[in-house]
Structure 1
Amino acid sequence: MTPFDIGLIVLAAMLVLVLLGMTVSIALMACSFVGVWLIRGSPDLAANLMALAASDTISSYFFGVVPLFVLMGFLVSESGMGRDAFDVANQMFRRIRGGLGVGTVGANAIFAAITGVSIASAAVFTKIAVPQMMRNGYSPRFATGVVAGSSVLGMLIPPSLLLILYGILTEQNIGDLFIAGIGPGILLALAFGIGIVVTAIFAPRTLGNPQIPEEGEISRANLLRKGLPIVALIVLVLGGIYGGIFTPVEAGGIGALGALALGIMKRTLGLRALGRVLVDTGLVTAAICFLIIAAQMYSRMLALSGLPAGFGAFVIDAELGLTMVLLLYILVVIAMGMMLDSSSIMLILVPLMMPVMVGFDVDLIWFGIVTVIAVEIGLLTPPFGISVYVIKSTLDDPFITLGDIFIGAAPFALAMLAVLMLVVAFPVIATGLIP
């Protein structure tokens, strides 16, 4: 067998193992090791190459951005800023039609800008927003759909763990990726909010029987007390990166320190909560660490097999233009999103597509945003739809089924697809803010 044939067999075996339920990082590592062994004919050489990939990954300075932003996200979640974000957004939009839904989208956008984790947003706002909306006449299907749909903003609006993962995989500037996510993230939040208002005007029964909430009116002083710390943390982290004051790693450290200080000042972050935050940060960082190591092993196996180069040659011989290749790529990503989680899709497809995109002279920062939006659509699509499952498990209400949540989230998935097409057609939406 040629190295190319071995690469194809290993790729197919890895997909089968992942679909059968094997942990993604283990499947990537095992298949990459076997692939290099078969290509080079030496298990010792394969082991040395895999060890080198692991040491090079973890010793990288930019890997430090992962634990720092994860820590910041958990500190923000524990300190009650999700409730503050919801109160502020609800106050701003309470008087318009579908105001609680729009407020939930706004709160998710705010929360995304200080956590970067979609699953955290889904869990937090399931507890905060869904009961509030249902008390005010919104249907359970709409209430859970809004939370599921808007939770995906956490992986697009910076700081985003998926953008960090993409930056490490492709060796792109993480600060530029963060800045590139701002325009599409705001556009997506606006699309969600406008869609809710339009639906409330022309198809109000879709929302249930919503009422303007009587409770929850807060004074201007309380509004400032709740909103200013959130704005300050966002400006500190993203402003520092955008202004060239901090590197992304330094911004993560500063942001974590700021979130810790805010939690202590709010008296919502005690020693027990801090201990829980540190343990959770360690667990998530370890999981991401193994994923990145596995991805590096997988990338080196692909390079040895010649699979990416062969795929690029096939694209050239078939005379497929960039638009057709992108559409096919997006379709594959969305299809895989029905079966796999976000990071798994990126780990498998991005190393395979990189040489093809480089051959087309594509801006890899823009390609990263396209990839993340396409991947995030998978969080809302059955049968996997991890955000939907998080909401279902957090809500623990037998009268609200998974089908209800999937149906409620479907319009938001369509809105994401429309925004994705706009970003593909007009790359300046993503790249316009990059200096």
Structure 2
Amino acid sequence: MSAFDIGLLSLGGIFGLVLLGLYVPVALMVCSFIGVWAIKGKAALASKLLALAASDAIASYHFGVVPLFVLMGFFVAEAGIGRDAFRVAQALLGRMTGGLGVATVGANALFAAITGISIASAAVFSRIAAPEMIARGYTPRFAAGIVAGSSVLGMLIPPSLLLILYAILAEQSVGDLFIAGILPGLVMAALFGAVVIGMVRFAPGFAGRPDRGRVEEPLGRVLLGGLSIALLVGLVVGGLYGGIFTPVESGAVGAAGALLLGLLRRSLSREGFGRALVETGMVTASICLLIIAAAMYSRMLAFSGVPREFGEMVAASGLGPTGVLLLYILAVIAMGMILDSSSIMLILVPLMLPVVEPMGLDLVWFGILTVIAVEIGLLTPPFGISVYVIRSSLRRRDLPLGAIFAGAAPFALAMFACLMLVLAFPPLATALMAH
């Protein structure tokens, strides 16, 4: 049996184990070890090669961005800054048609700029924004759909854990990917806002007939409360974009800034501080396992020659870069129905990089396309994890899981439209990097 055949069998084994319910990183590590063992003929050699790959994967200084940005995100969540972001957006946008829904999108975009965790956004705004929207006349399913849709902005607007994961897998600059995510993230937020306004105006049976929002506090006081958020965003994103901080330094400054902000506002309790540290450790350990599994999997693929053979088959097919990317996007979206975001990237990115690199495609742009396509899976049944988080947070009997998926469907379509825009106009992702 050739190395190529062993590689294909390993891929089949990975998918089989995943479908049987095995945790994806474990499936990757098991099949990678067996694959390298079969190719090299010695279990001890396979163990040493994969151990070296695992060590190299997490020994890099650049891996430090993961715990630092995760810590910043949890400090922000525990300090109640999401509520302030919602109040600022509501004060600015709440009086327009569909304004409360648009304010939820805006608040999520602002919250995404200081935390890269979509699940945190879904949990925070399902408790803050959804009850407010339902009370103002939005249907429960559309209110939940708005929260579900806008929560995925956290995976595109920097800092983003998915962009960090892609940067490690593809050996690309975290800073470049953060900068590349800004414009597509703003475009997606604008599309979400347009969806809210359009649905309220033209599909009131689905969206409800909300009344105009009202600002409970003076606008100046609300905006003053949001000044601290703006300073934190400017410190992290502005310092990174301006070249003042490296990505690791930016994460450290952001975490320190979020901690200081929570202490000054007296909104970060001792219990909240402890929860942030524990959650950061758990998320970081989980991501470490993902990256170790990805490194082993990439090493197995390199030994088997599957990506090289696959690339030659693609080149001989005459599909061209656009055709290959469209097929890749469809595969990612399809896998999003059964796998979580990071697992899709772990499996597909190492397989596709040797295929797209010879085509001369910008790997940062390819990363943005990948993340947007992966994000769509957060809203599609049956695995859309953001929908499950919202369902568990709201706990309304009149809001079954299917209704939330229906409410999120217009936003999934808007995400696909954003994906096509970035595919058709690469400068949306690369323009800021040129300056």
TM-score range, shorter chain: over 0.9
Q: CA deviation at 1:13?
A: 0.7
Residue equivalent to 1:22: 22
Structure 1 counterpart of 2:139, which letter?
S
Q: CA deviation at 1:403?
A: 0.5
User: Quick one: distance in 1 between partners of 2:287 and 2:66?
Assistant: 8
| Contact map agreement 2:339 2:383 (CA 8 A) in 1 | yes
User: Quick one: distance in 1 between partners of 2:114 and 2:124?
Assistant: 13
Alignment of 1:7-18 (within 5 A): 7-18=7-18
1:224 to 2:223 alignment: yes
Q: Classify the secondary structure of the residue corresponding to 1:379.
A: coil
1:91 to 2:91 alignment: yes
Alignment of 1:188-337 (within 5 A): 188-214=188-214, 216-337=215-336
User: Quick one: distance in 2 between partners of 1:434 and 1:106?
Assistant: 24
User: Quick one: distance in 2 between partners of 1:96 and 1:207?
Assistant: 15
Q: Classify the secondary structure of the residue corresponding to 1:166.
A: helix
Q: CA deviation at 1:50?
A: 1.2
- Aligned residue pairs total 434
User: Quick one: distance in 2 between partners of 1:58 and 1:326?
Assistant: 29
Q: CA deviation at 1:91?
A: 0.9
Deviation per residue, 1:218-273 (Å, 9 max, x gap): 21332233211111111101111111111000000000000000000111112111
Q: CA deviation at 1:398?
A: 2.0
Q: CA deviation at 1:199?
A: 2.2
Residue equivalent to 1:150: 150
User: Quick one: distance in 1 between partners of 2:296 and 2:224?
Assistant: 48
User: Quick one: distance in 2 between partners of 1:274 and 1:72?
Assistant: 11
Structure 1 counterpart of 2:11, which letter?
L
Identify unmatched segments of 5+ residues in structure 2: none
User: Quick one: distance in 1 between partners of 2:221 and 2:19?
Assistant: 49
Residue equivalent to 2:371: 372
User: Quick one: distance in 1 between partners of 2:306 and 2:163?
Assistant: 25
User: Quick one: distance in 2 between partners of 1:369 and 1:243?
Assistant: 21
Q: Classify the secondary structure of the residue corresponding to 1:380.
A: coil
| Contact map agreement 2:200 2:209 (CA 8 A) in 1 | no
User: Quick one: distance in 1 between partners of 2:234 and 2:95?
Assistant: 28
Q: CA deviation at 1:83?
A: 0.3
Q: Classify the secondary structure of the residue corresponding to 2:378.
A: helix
Residue equivalent to 1:3: 3
Alignment of 1:329-348 (within 5 A): 329-348=328-347
Q: Classify the secondary structure of the residue corresponding to 2:382.
A: coil
Structure 1 counterpart of 2:311, which letter?
G
Q: TM-score, normalised by structure 2?
A: 0.98
Residue equivalent to 1:363: 362
Identify unmatched segments of 5+ residues in structure 1: none
Residue equivalent to 1:401: 400
User: Quick one: distance in 1 between partners of 2:412 and 2:275?
Assistant: 33
Deviation per residue, 1:272-316 (Å, 9 max, x gap): 111111001000000000000110010000000000001001001
User: Quick one: distance in 2 between partners of 1:302 and 1:226?
Assistant: 52
Residue equivalent to 2:52: 52
Q: Classify the secondary structure of the residue corresponding to 2:377.
A: helix
User: Quick one: distance in 2 between partners of 1:289 and 1:420?
Assistant: 29
Residue equivalent to 1:102: 102
Structure 2 counterpart of 1:9, which letter?
L
Residue equivalent to 1:165: 165
Identity among equivalent positions (%) equals 65
| Contact map agreement 2:200 2:208 (CA 8 A) in 1 | no
Q: TM-score, normalised by structure 1?
A: 0.98
Residue equivalent to 2:176: 176
Deviation per residue, 1:69-113 (Å, 9 max, x gap): 000000000000100001111111111111110000000000001
User: Quick one: distance in 2 between partners of 1:2 and 1:251?
Assistant: 47
Bigger mean CA offset, 390-399 vs 242-251: 390-399
1:139 to 2:139 alignment: yes
Residue equivalent to 2:419: 420
Q: Classify the secondary structure of the residue corresponding to 2:433.
A: coil
| Contact map agreement 2:86 2:129 (CA 8 A) in 1 | yes
Structure 1 counterpart of 2:285, which letter?
A
Structure 2 counterpart of 1:401, which letter?
P
Residue equivalent to 1:117: 117
Structure 1 counterpart of 2:165, which letter?
L
Q: Classify the secondary structure of the residue corresponding to 1:87.
A: helix
User: Quick one: distance in 1 between partners of 2:173 and 2:421?
Assistant: 23
Structure 2 counterpart of 1:219, which letter?
P
User: Quick one: distance in 2 between partners of 1:83 and 1:224?
Assistant: 13
Deviation per residue, 1:163-214 (Å, 9 max, x gap): 0000000110000000000000000000010121122222233221211234
User: Quick one: distance in 2 between partners of 1:98 and 1:204?
Assistant: 11
| Contact map agreement 2:96 2:213 (CA 8 A) in 1 | no
Q: Classify the secondary structure of the residue corresponding to 1:272.
A: helix
Q: Classify the secondary structure of the residue corresponding to 2:154.
A: helix
Deviation per residue, 1:20-42 (Å, 9 max, x gap): 21111111111111110001001
User: Quick one: distance in 1 between partners of 2:152 and 2:16?
Assistant: 27
Q: Classify the secondary structure of the residue corresponding to 2:113.
A: helix
